[in-house]
DNA sequence: TCTGGGGTCCTAGGACCC
DNA sequence: TCTGGGGTCCTAGGACCC
């Protein structure tokens, strides 16, 4: 049996945990750059505000209904997430942290110690609420895909008190019949259209199809697994996360610019900044990268036809996490795709082919001593930035030509709340 | 005027190797 | 006219997820 624990409207719930007066009011959280809506309270959803909608398009509606708006505060959300995951790991040995607000649990054999699984889930739900003020829902089923589906129904129906256990074939069938096909995990926009055009509109209808059909219609082996999972055969195991943090297979840092940029020096500085950030993340999870991708994009909403993005992939001679080295490759990659005169809106750096750090061979002609010096430089850099704050020490190439100007590749976030739990200066102040 | 930032997995084709 | 069978790596692109 698998359980899926999913935090309700997670970012909004994090903000509410520190401002209880927002309870019952419409609240939304915006993406980076205050661009789109990425988390909405139930009240905001009821007003018709949709996920991913650009803020500027719904600004009037938001003001008219006095919806509270927040910029995203990832320092806060990341820390709140860690608290939820830490609690789950204390109860269940096998936890897969699936995303910032979701975890799969392996409940195999847990019934022996805890009795009824639905009761165990209700306890976890209560404890998470008590400890973090984050509301969660829990779905339990024989496969991950069905646990997802159960979770969604637990969220929708208040009668279920946030927990649904699909413990009999009859309940599984009932749940499949309740679920529109587009709400199945793995069915996105393209497949929804395709399925509707073939008369398939519910999860139950999809579950009745053959594996061969699914393979042909839904992207090969991915579709075959999806249908098998709906039929109750597990095709996805649990990938337990050690220490409750995610170890990624690729690391990216990408941004839409606050203003369009067309000077080479500015774009160099932007991608150098992104590469520095990505390298920090890389060292934090003690990895080294084998490939580096740089991409630059023009306005994808304009009248110009695609492609809007050009990218350049470099395979590195030796995997590295050294910012100095990565910056050199970043510049090389950028030069390959640079078009003079173009106006760029977005850029990014992606590090791929990650492996465990410290197992790389020395670069040709480099002595042990040199390698150690480079490693020490990076760890000193990380320690300074950790202690005194992000960007305390930076590489000059990652700075704009005019260091007093507004940096175009660092977006606006007008409504960001304090990092209550991760920064001493931001501690919550309570008036007596 | 203003449209996010991460990730995953899979497929297919070409180059190259033995 | 006939012209193997595997394997890897790289790249690009497609679909999906939160």
Closest CA-bearing residue to C1' of B1: A56
Residue A285: give the domain boundaries: 251-398
- Note whether A182 and A194 are within 8 A (CB): no
Does residue A403 fall inside a structural domain? no
| A151 inside domain | yes
Q: Can you tell me the distance from the alpha carbon of A151 to that of A137, in angstroms, rounded to the nearest whole number? A: 6
Rounded to whole angstroms, the distance from the CA of residue A382 to the C1' of nucleotide C10 is 33
Same domain, A185 and A57: no
Contact A169, A261 (CB under 8 A): no
Would you say A374 and A318 are in contact if contact means Cβ atoms under 8 Å apart?
no
CATH number at residue A92: 3.30.70.270
Is there a contact between A337 and A299 (Cβ–Cβ < 8 Å)? no
Helix or strand holding residue A270 (H, E):
helix A264-284
Task: State whether A65 and A91 are in the same domain.
Answer: no
Question: In terms of domains, do A12 and A60 share one?
Answer: yes
Decide if A239 is inside a domain: no
What whole-number percentage of chain A has pLDDT above 70?
A: 97
Is the confidence at residue A408, as pLDDT, over 90? Answer: no
Question: Is residue A404 a part of any domain in this protein?
Answer: no
A422 inside domain: no
pLDDT band at A245 (very low <50, low <70, confident <90, very high): low
Asked if A251 CB < 7 A from strand B, the reply is: yes
Same domain, A87 and A183: yes
Question: Is residue A238 in a domain?
Answer: no
Of A75, A94, A121, the one marking the end of a domain is A75
Residues 23-42 of A with CB under 7 A from strand B: 31-33, 35-36, 38
* Mean pLDDT of the region A224-233: 97
Q: Which nucleotides of C are covered by protein (CB under 7 A)?
A: 9-12, 14-18
Read off the pLDDT of each residue in A251-267 and give the average, rounded to a whole number. 92
Report, as an integer, the average pLDDT of A48-61.
96
Nucleotides of B under 7 A from a protein CB: 1-12
pLDDT digits (tens, 9 = 90+) for A313-350: 998 988 999 999 999 999 999 998 998 889 999 999 99
**CATH number of the domain that residue A387 is part of:** 3.30.1490.100
Confidence of residue A360 (pLDDT cuts 50, 70, 90): low
- Dihedral-angle region of residue A47 (phi above 0 means left; psi in -120 to 50 means alpha; beta otherwise): alpha
pLDDT over 80 (residue A37):
yes
Q: How many folded domains does chain A comprise?
A: 3
Average pLDDT in chain A:
92
The answer on pLDDT for A357 being more than 60 is yes
Position A244 confidence tier, pLDDT thresholds 50, 70, 90: low
| CATH assignment at residue A12 | 3.40.1170.60
User: What are A98-123's pLDDT values in tens digits?
Assistant: 999 999 999 998 888 888 999 999 99
pLDDT single digits (tens) A125-134: 999 999 999 9
Mark whether A155 and A116 lie in a shared domain: yes
- Asked if residue A218 and residue A275 are part of one domain, the reply reads no
């Amino acid at each position: 049996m698998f359980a899926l624990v999913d935090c309700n409207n997670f970012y909004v719930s994090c903000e509410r945990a520190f401002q209880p007066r927002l309870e019952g009011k419409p609240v939304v959280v915006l993406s980076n750059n205050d661009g789109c809506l990425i988390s909405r309270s139930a009240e905001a959803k009821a007003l018709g505000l949709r996920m991913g909608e650009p803020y500027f398009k719904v600004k009037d509606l938001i003001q008219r209904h006095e919806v509270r708006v927040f910029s995203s505060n990832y320092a806060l959300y990341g820390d709140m997430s860690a608290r939820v995951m830490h609690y789950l790991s204390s109860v269940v040995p096998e936890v897969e942290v699936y995303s910032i607000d979701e975890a799969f649990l392996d409940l195999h054999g847990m019934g022996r110690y805890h009795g009824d699984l639905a009761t165990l889930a209700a306890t976890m739900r209560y404890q998470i609420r008590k400890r973090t003020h984050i509301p969660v829902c829990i779905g339990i089923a024989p496969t991950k895909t069905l646990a997802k589906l159960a979770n969604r129904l637990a969220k929708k129906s208040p009668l279920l008190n946030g927990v649904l256990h699909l413990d009999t074939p009859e309940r599984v069938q009932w749940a499949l019949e309740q679920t529109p096909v587009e709400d199945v995990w793995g069915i996105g926009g393209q497949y929804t259209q395709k399925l509707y055009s073939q008369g398939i509109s519910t999860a139950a209808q999809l579950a009745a199809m053959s594996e061969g059909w699914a393979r042909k219609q839904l992207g090969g082996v991915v579709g075959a697994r999806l249908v098998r999972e709906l039929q109750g055969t597990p095709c996805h195991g649990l990938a337990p996360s050690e220490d409750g943090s995610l170890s990624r297979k690729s690391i990216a840092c990408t941004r839409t610019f606050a203003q369009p940029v067309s000077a080479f020096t500015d774009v160099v500085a932007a991608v150098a900044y992104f590469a520095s950030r990505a390298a920090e993340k890389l060292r934090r999870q003690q990895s080294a990268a084998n490939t580096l991708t740089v991409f630059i994009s023009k306005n994808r909403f304009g009248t110009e036809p695609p492609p809007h993005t050009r990218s350049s992939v470099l395979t590195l001679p030796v995997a590295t996490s050294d910012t100095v080295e990565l910056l050199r490759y970043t510049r090389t990659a950028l030069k390959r795709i640079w078009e003079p005169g173009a106006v760029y809106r977005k850029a990014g750096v992606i590090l791929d082919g990650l492996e465990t750090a410290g197992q790389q061979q020395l670069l040709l002609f480099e002595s042990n001593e040199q390698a150690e010096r480079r490693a020490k430089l990076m760890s000193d850099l990380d320690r300074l930035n950790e202690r005194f704050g992000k960007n305390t020490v930076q590489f000059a190439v990652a700075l704009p030509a005019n260091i007093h100007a507004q940096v175009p590749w660092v977006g606006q976030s007008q409504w960001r709340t304090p990092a209550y739990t991760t920064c001493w200066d931001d501690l919550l102040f309570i008036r007596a």
